[in-house]
Structure 1
Amino acid sequence: MYDQTRAQQPPDHPPDRGERRGSGPDTLLPPDDRDRIALRLGRALNTFADTPHGALAEAEAALDEVTAQLANVLAERRRALRASWQEPLAESDELRLAMRQYREITQRLLRL
């Protein structure tokens, strides 16, 4: 039987917004690094009115750091992916997994 009062109440356990759905790609940078770079960019934004050149230099440094880290992470993933299908005895399941990972990473980068 439908309980209108209960339906209007919040759920007992709110859904975890950080919970992953399916087997999509994981984050490229560790949370600590993302948080640190975001704080750095936030400081740059907050100091822009008082010291625009210094703030811009800080924002540029944050961008440089994140792009360097992303380049390193992507290069390592590429090496690992290539190694997974270059093995002469790679099974078809391993090859399909590699293709799926190439697709996920490439599509994710195209959405940036």
Structure 2
Amino acid sequence: MADAMTGKGAERDPMRSTPAVAPSTTGAERDEGTRVRGTTPGGVTAKATPLFPHDESDKFELQLQHAVAGFVDGPRAAVEEADRVLEELTARFTEAVTQRRRTLRGAWQSADRAEGGPESSTDTEQLRLALRDYRELAERLLHG
């Protein structure tokens, strides 16, 4: 498969099980505007785990819609409500990302502690998967 931007053949990306291609077609596709889908090692498309449960996201959306709907009758109160929603959402988002990092870190550090010896191919594979998961999370944060 040729890269449309450089004309070169597809190169192997060590963190993906599929060849790397042009940035617009990396295997990560937008789904519903915020969720990212990626390709699993078997080539099956899978949705990324959302940071918030669906009902919690809906709650924030409803609170923000309520603030917007109230603007005509009370502009200042609507903006203050939107500010509170964003403050709560930001705090919850920070907690969710921190928890996800803790989970990722725990996965590869526990493999280190279990082995104790030189790196095996299993260790390297676990580290490759951990790096892939870190990159996926960072891309989600950068590209929303």
- Tell me if both proteins adopt one fold, taking TM over 0.5 as the criterion: yes
Structure having the higher Rg: 1
1:9 is matched with: none
Normalising by structure 2, we get a TM-score of 0.60
Which of residues 62, 66, 76 is equivalent to 2:99? 76
CA RMSD of the aligned region, Å? 1.9
TM-score by length of 1: 0.75
What's 1:54 paired with?
A: 77
Unaligned stretches of 5+ residues in structure 2 = 1-30, 39-44, 116-121
User: How far is 1:103 from its partner?
Assistant: 0.4
Give the % identical residues.
38
Q: 2: distance between equivalents of 1:57 and 1:109? A: 26
Q: Which residue of 2 aligns with 1:105?
A: 137
Q: Counterparts of 2:106 and 2:67 in 1: how far apart (Å)?
A: 40
Are the counterparts in 2 of residues 48 and 56 from structure 1 also a CA contact under 8 Å? yes
Higher helix share: 1
Compare 48-57 and 85-94 and name the one that shifted more: 85-94
- Other structure's SS at 1:23 match: strand
Aligned length: 95
Q: Distance in 2 between matches of 1:43 and 1:24?
A: 30
Q: Unpaired segments of 5 or more residues in structure 1?
A: 1-16
Q: Which amino acid aligns with 1:107?
A: E
